[in-house]
Amino acid sequence: MPESPAFEPVGDAVCWLESVCDECGALIEAELPAECWRCGSEVVAS
């Protein structure tokens, strides 16, 4: 039986969910709280 390859984590280790605008789904790259660049809604950290 062949050995399974070592696990290598992939992607970002952080969760970007609180940086997503609830109204339109845009990713907010500014420090929160911030105004959404797409729809103008206020995005706050939860």
Predicted pLDDT of residue 10: 75
pLDDT value at residue 4: 65
- Give the Cα separation of 11 and 38 in Å (integer): 25
Predicted pLDDT at 25: 96
What is residue 7's predicted lDDT score, i.e. its pLDDT?
Answer: 72
Q: What is the three-class DSSP state of 27?
A: strand
CB burial of 10-21 (b: ≥16 within 10 Å; e: otherwise) equals: eeeeeeeeebeb
Interval 1-46: pLDDT, tens? 566 667 777 777 678 899 999 999 999 999 999 999 999 999 998 7
Confidence (pLDDT) at 33: 97
What radius of gyration do the chain's Cα atoms show?
A: 17
Which pLDDT value is given to residue 27? Answer: 96
Evaluate the CA torsion angle 28, 32, 37, 43 in order and state its sign. positive
